[in-house]
Amino acid sequence: MHLMYILDENGNRMYTLKKITEGGNITKSAHPARFSPDDKYSRHRVTIKKRYGVLPTAF
């Protein structure tokens, strides 16, 4: 089992262990993606995120 979450009305995370809530909402994983030093496309993802202002350093 992995820790999952859904967003409530205020945008706060509500954590659960279920894949689907009682209301039928699909939950998202609360864990970050795995890091791979062999990632060939990381440079392109960072470029796209910089372009659209999605990087955490852009805030």
Query: pLDDT tens string for the chain (59 positions)?
Result: 799 999 999 999 999 999 999 989 899 999 988 888 888 888 898 899 889 988 777 55
Q: H or E stretch including 6?
A: strand 4-7
Q: Among candidates 1, 58, 3, which has minimal Cα distance to 31?
A: 3
Domain boundaries 4-52, CATH class: mainly beta
The two three-digit tokens of residue 58, written as one number: 């852009």
pLDDT value, residue 59: 54
HEC secondary structure over 21-57 = CCCCCECEECCCCCCCCCCCCHHHHHHHHHHHCCCHH
Q: Is the pTM of this model over 0.85?
A: no
